[in-house]
Amino acid sequence: MAAAAEIPTARSASKPESSKVRVLCYEFDLEKDVIGKGAYGEVYKATVVGPPGNNMNQIDGAQGSFVALKRTFCADKEEGIPASTIREIMVLNEIVKSTRDVAGPGSPALFGSENVVKLYDVVVEKYMVYMASEYCEAGDLSCYLNALPLRRLTDGRLYRQWMRDLLSGLCFLHRKEFSHRDLKPQNLVLKAVPPGTQSPRVNCDGEPKRGPRAPSQYVLKITDFGLSRVEGIPVKKYQHESVTLWYRSPDVLLGNTNYNYTVDLWSAGCIIAEVASGKALFHGGNNLEQLKCIFALLGLPTGANFPSMKQYALYKDFFNGVNGIQLGQNGNDGKGSNGYSDWLEGAKRKLHYYFTRCGSMDMVGNDGVDLVARLLAYEPDRRITAEEALQHPFFCILSRGISSPRRHNFPQVTAAAEAGGQKKDLLLLGKKNAVARPPHRPLSAVLAQNRHRPPAQPREGEVAEAEAGAPNRARVVVNTPTPSAGVRRG
């Protein structure tokens, strides 16, 4: 590492006029190249100034290209590297390995992988860890939206494209049994695609997708896996505070610590609504306020539309009758409705009114309202999976869209289906804090061929409810089966 001595590192820099740092083959300016800061440390736009080496993941463009270099400090010498950093490295490492183990570039197993940020390299320095990952020029989705005049998208095709990217990334993660657990606009980034570039993506059925990306020339990617988990690996019970407050599902707000990737589906529904409206769908200041915001907009919870709620640790704290949350009677709003099917129709009416007030109903459409409502089901097992969401009619407007040439239509919940669902819900009640894992069915048999009804206008009395709402360094090889096998001294 003789080249490393030519440019001072962060700790060895003695000239105040020089703020450039070089870490192995990455060079960045401590002042000019900052693209993000947080409790974890900083993220820099770094330039690849030397050969990356044989053991690292291939960088797009190699020497002279840019990477996002995340620098994390080890605040406690005894504790060492933060658990969130180790977790993020582990998850991204597994993602890299899973993409290398497929048959070829057209394999259905790769579907959605382009919508997850790539990890290139990990460098361990005394008291610091550097993670080199894919650099996304347009920044995060939150900053992008805040720079727009209305703080929201107004192009319907672009809206569908990016929301499809979000669900495609989730589909890939969930198929590999990863749950992100902290989805929000700040953790979605936009990568530029050269104009006219042929998309390398494949659809859910493994069919190649042809033609250039339209019209934004950006692909949306999921990033920041510091809170992620691998399903099926025994760990301590999850903290219910994991997901950022505004994007937490009701079961997590009520203290569910045994959840799975259904939390990502709720967050995705919130994001799809926010990108269209320009504001967070639910914005409470604490767990109680957040629950009230949710139930004010989507309808009151009952044993029929949220059968597992009484099993969660904080249920009695929030539904205590004193400044607590009101329960519905026999349905979502206490007006004689029956269970999930009527809750779904009521939620769609209120969301229709919400998007109309925001001026975005023309872009979202009835299909978009239906999609958001199905992602925001109170009962975790009721939320449609990412695979099912990608087959929703909302995305069929995209030319050669995510679905195969056939059109999958979503059925209304019939009385028979509702009865079957209630039986399954009763089984859930017998297992404390148990949330059934949503099935990933073959896409050719996702749902029956029945057309869903468009939501009607809000009924009288629902409008007010809807309105409420130089030290020693080591490079860690990314693709290694064991941590110890991946350390190389510089």
335-346 residue pLDDT tens: 445 589 999 999
pLDDT of residue 84: 84
pLDDT of residue 464: 40
The pair of structure tokens assigned to 180 is: 């992100």
Report the distance separating Cα 96 and Cα 478, nearest Å: 8
Residue percentage of the chain with pLDDT more than 70: 64
pLDDT of residue 242: 60
Structure-derived torsion over alpha carbons of residues 479, 485, 487, 490, reported in degrees to the nearest 10: -100
**b vs e for 89-121, b when ≥16 Cβ sit within 10 Å of the residue's Cβ?**
bebbbbbbebbeeeeeeeebbbbbbbbbbbbbb
Point out the catalytic residue in the list 121, 140, 182, 333. Answer: 182
Please provide residue 248's backbone torsions phi and psi, each rounded to the nearest 5 degrees: -85, 140
Q: Is the pLDDT of residue 487 over 80?
A: no
Q: Is the pLDDT of residue 251 over 60?
A: yes
Give 14's pLDDT tier (boundaries 50, 70, 90): very low
The pair of structure tokens assigned to 229 is: 């988990």
Report the distance separating Cα 165 and Cα 186, nearest Å: 15
pLDDT of residue 125: 83
Cβ-defined contacts of 82-90 (< 8 Å, 24+): 82/40, 84/40, 84/226, 84/227, 85/40, 85/129, 85/131, 85/226, 87/225, 87/226, 87/227, 87/228, 87/229, 88/131, 88/224, 88/225, 88/226, 88/228, 89/119, 89/122, 89/129, 89/131, 89/476, 90/230
Residue 182 catalytic? yes
- Residue 329: which residues within 8 A CB-CB, separation 6 or more? 302
Report the 10 Å Cβ neighbour count for 163: 24
Q: Are 250 and 271 in contact (CB under 8 A)?
A: no
Closest CA to 184 of 83, 262, 272: 272
Catalogue all structural domains in the chain, each as residue range(s) with its CATH number: 2-135+472-489 (3.30.200.20), 141-457 (1.10.510.10)
Give 204's pLDDT tier (boundaries 50, 70, 90): very low
Report the distance separating Cα 274 and Cα 185, nearest Å: 9
Report the distance separating Cα 449 and Cα 428, nearest Å: 28
The pair of structure tokens assigned to 386 is: 């990412």
206 or 93, higher pLDDT:
93
DSSP code per residue over 53-90: -TTSPPPTT-TT-EEEEEEEE---TTT-S-HHHHHHHH
Query: What mean pLDDT is predicted for residues 25-52?
Result: 88
Give 371's pLDDT tier (boundaries 50, 70, 90): very high
pLDDT of residue 190: 96
pLDDT of residue 211: 40
pLDDT of residue 41: 85
Q: Is the pLDDT of residue 468 over 50?
A: no
Query: What mean pLDDT is predicted for residues 20-47?
Result: 90
The pair of structure tokens assigned to 477 is: 């090889």
Give 260's pLDDT tier (boundaries 50, 70, 90): confident
Query: What mean pLDDT is predicted for residues 205-228?
Result: 68
97 or 433, higher pLDDT:
97
Considering the chain, what is the average pLDDT of its residues? 75
Q: Is the pLDDT of residue 131 over 80?
A: yes
pLDDT of residue 188: 98
420 or 126, higher pLDDT:
126
DSSP code per residue over 256-305: --S--THHHHHHHHHHHHHHHHSS-S---SSHHHHHHHHHHHH----TTT
Residue percentage of the chain with pLDDT more than 90: 47
Q: Is the pLDDT of residue 447 over 50?
A: no
pLDDT of residue 80: 78
The pair of structure tokens assigned to 292 is: 């009230």
Summary count for the chain: helices (H), strands (E):
12, 13
Query: What mean pLDDT is predicted for residues 201-210?
Result: 42
pLDDT of residue 183: 96
pLDDT of residue 325: 86
Q: Is the pLDDT of residue 469 over 60?
A: no
Closest CA to 380 of 446, 305, 282: 305
Query: What mean pLDDT is predicted for residues 170-175?
Result: 95
Q: Is the pLDDT of residue 466 over 50?
A: no
Give 9's pLDDT tier (boundaries 50, 70, 90): very low
Query: What mean pLDDT is predicted for residues 349-360?
Result: 98
The pair of structure tokens assigned to 484 is: 């110890």
Q: Which amino acid is at 58?
A: Q
Closest CA to 356 of 226, 466, 445, 228: 466
Structure-derived torsion over alpha carbons of residues 343, 393, 386, 384, reported in degrees to the nearest 10: 20
Q: Is the pLDDT of residue 333 over 50?
A: no
pLDDT of residue 434: 35
Lowest mean pLDDT among 168-172, 246-250, 270-274, 432-436: 432-436
pLDDT of residue 230: 81
- Residue 218, classed as helix, strand or coil, is strand
Tell me the residue ranges of DSSP E strands in 223-269: 229-230
Report the distance separating Cα 43 and Cα 69, nearest Å: 5
Give 331's pLDDT tier (boundaries 50, 70, 90): very low
